[in-house]
Structure 1
Amino acid sequence: MFKVVVIGASGLLGRALVDELARQADWQVVATAFSRPAPNTVALDIRDAQAVEQFVEREAPDALVIAAAERRPDVCEHDPALARALNVDAVRTLAAAANRRGAWTLSISTDYVFNGTHPPYRHDSTPAPLNAYGHSKLDGERALTATTDLGCVLRLPLLYGPIVSWAESAVTSLVPAIAASASSNGRSAVMDAWAIRYPTFTPDVALVIRQMLERHAHGETIRGIVQWSGDEPMTKYEIAVRLAEALQLDANLTPQSTPTDATPRPHNCHLASSQLEALGIGRRTPFDTAIRQVLAAFPWRGETAA
């Protein structure tokens, strides 16, 4: 029996990962959550070091995946202490507890550790974050690698997938504005056409992580820093156009060619995925196919977008 703990199982990536791992024969999955605990999850505040240590000691996993984080750049900018507690200190605590049990730790990081001026970025490219979120995730990477030799960082870009609310992903968060612009008296929705993103489907990432876990289970542990990314570049404006097409809405969209976010964001942080590709790891579902799956599974009520 191979036992995996998923930290942050109620989140966008965590849910997809639990769904993927639950299909594996002879694997036991222990899922934790904090803000949205469910009957099949263990309630755990990863900011509570003593609770984390007791949990890991009790469960004694073979591997631990950290999918919990404060991932909202604006929140990190205004509350750096919260960002550090979740993205740095908790990673260190979890990695240390797992290391004491001889468990492999996989921590999720972000393309925002780079400044976006010289893509594509390799795993060993020099990080240069532009905002507090990127800084906190970079410090989290360093916390992991300094705490355990039995660990790996997986950097990911903009994620989307099955949702519980439009706001859960920066991709689907555009839907209410798109829908409003398509109404009879709707104003044009202004969408960023400057920053280039690489939307990446959470079920694809879950498969990547499962394949990495399989290698560890077979004694071929992946260490250090690796990256995975979708391969379709698009701006928020281009994402919005494709969302409108998928929803069959005649949206009124206006591209904005200069940065509009209050928190600075990088221009293009394309992550090279060559390490994992060389290992035969990975899958990329085309965006138009994947987003239609997401929209079909989420209750869509046209003009309300609620």
Structure 2
Amino acid sequence: MFKVAVAGASGLLGRALVRELAAGTDWQVVSTAFSRVGAGQVPLDVRDARAVDAFVAGEAPDAIVIAAAERRPDVCEHDPAAARALNVDAVRSIAAAARRRGAWVLSISTDYVFDGAHPPYRPDAAPNPLNAYGRSKLEGERALLDATDNALVLRLPLLYGPIVDWQESAVTSLVPAIRASARADAAPAVMDAWATRYPTFTPDVAFVIRELLTRWADGNAVCGIAQWSGDEPMTKYDIAQRIARALGIEAQLVAQTAPTDATPRPRDCHLDSGRLEALGIGRRTPFDAGIRAVLDAFMRDGATP
């Protein structure tokens, strides 16, 4: 039976992928986690090269998906060594172990490898990251592709999807401030209206990854670099307006039209998804439908904004 290992299965994308594989395939899926190890998951610190070697040798997966990463730009900026350990060194260790096993590897990367000055960006566009996060992810891409030819870097933009807390995504992290701004005595919530993002639904990404895994299982592996992105351009101000509508509240929102983040961020890193589209791979859920599903499910389970 085809066997897939998902490293970082407790995170936002990892959970969506495990659900997609469980629902859409009869493959054997081995899920690993580090800080939030759930039922049926294998504890694994992907920064520990020996532990990675032992895991791959023992489980013998046919394919490995690396969803573990340090994705917070401010954290990466303040501790680039820790970011590099997870975003670069761990990828290299997994790739080396996979090469010895003959397994295909898919590693998640980011639109932040680009500077945002000349979108849209094709996979072969020259990277120019503006911050430590983007630099670490670009170095991780190179570490993967230098370690094995049997691998794919999948670049993704801003992600949102089913969550365990509001802060899991930069999209849903806006909800508490949006909700608070609707109170009569509250100050408006200031939202960035400078940078354009392309929020992408994690169940759609999971579907894309399943299709890529299917191609590998069928002997038609996609290797090198590919990209997938939602196609609705929005600033965080736009996102906040649509979240407020989904919540049915009259939020007080103010557009911030100049960049204010301490960590530099690119203005518009729109990823060209043409390589996967040409292969007939892809799915896009409209943002309004996706965010409504996320909010409804999270609040139905007892959360309060």
TM-score (norm 2): 0.98
More displaced 10-residue stretch of structure 1: 156-165 or 295-304: 295-304
Deviations 1:146-196 (A, max 9, x none): 000100100000000000000000000000000010012111000000000
Structure 1 counterpart of 2:149, one-letter code: D
| Correspondence 1:20-169 to 2 at 5 A | 20-169=20-169
Shift >4 Å, 4+ stretches: 300-304
| Correspondence 1:178-189 to 2 at 5 A | 178-189=178-189
Aligned residue-pair number: 305
| Correspondence 1:164-175 to 2 at 5 A | 164-175=164-175
Deviations 1:29-68 (A, max 9, x none): 0000001000110000011110000000000000000000
In structure 1, C-alpha distance between the alignment counterparts of 2:205 and 2:256, rounded to whole Å: 30
Structure 1 counterpart of 2:249, one-letter code: L
Tell me the CA shift for residue 260 of structure 1.
Answer: 1.2
Q: What SS does structure 2 have at the residue aligned with 1:296?
A: helix
In structure 2, C-alpha distance between the alignment counterparts of 1:14 and 1:164, rounded to whole Å: 13
Tell me the CA shift for residue 135 of structure 1.
Answer: 0.0
Deviations 1:48-100 (A, max 9, x none): 11000000000000000000000000000000011000000000000000110
Structure 1 residue runs without a partner (length 5+): none
Residues 65 and 107 in structure 1, CA contact (< 8 A), matched pair in contact too:
yes
- Aligned residue in 1 for 2:225: 225
In structure 1, C-alpha distance between the alignment counterparts of 2:191 and 2:112, rounded to whole Å: 20
- Aligned residue in 2 for 1:243: 243
Deviations 1:2-52 (A, max 9, x none): 100000000000000000001234300000000100011000001111000
1:197 aligns with 2:189: no
Structure 2 residue runs without a partner (length 5+): none
Structure 2 counterpart of 1:148, one-letter code: T
In structure 2, C-alpha distance between the alignment counterparts of 1:141 and 1:56, rounded to whole Å: 20
Residue identity over aligned pairs, in percent, reads: 72
Q: What SS does structure 1 have at the residue aligned with 2:268?
A: coil
Q: What SS does structure 1 have at the residue aligned with 2:226?
A: strand
Q: What SS does structure 2 have at the residue aligned with 1:255?
A: strand
More displaced 10-residue stretch of structure 1: 179-188 or 204-213: 179-188
TM-score (norm 1): 0.98
Structure 2 counterpart of 1:299, one-letter code: M
Residues 179 and 304 in structure 1, CA contact (< 8 A), matched pair in contact too:
no
Tell me the CA shift for residue 300 of structure 1.
Answer: 6.6
In structure 2, C-alpha distance between the alignment counterparts of 1:139 and 1:78, rounded to whole Å: 18
Structure 2 counterpart of 1:155, one-letter code: R
* CA distance 1:85–1:265, shift in 2 (3 Å): same
- Aligned residue in 1 for 2:212: 212
- Aligned residue in 1 for 2:12: 12
In structure 1, C-alpha distance between the alignment counterparts of 2:241 and 2:262, rounded to whole Å: 23
In structure 1, C-alpha distance between the alignment counterparts of 2:220 and 2:287, rounded to whole Å: 31
Residues 179 and 302 in structure 1, CA contact (< 8 A), matched pair in contact too:
no
Tell me the CA shift for residue 303 of structure 1.
Answer: 11
Q: What SS does structure 2 have at the residue aligned with 1:238?
A: helix
In structure 1, C-alpha distance between the alignment counterparts of 2:300 and 2:187, rounded to whole Å: 21
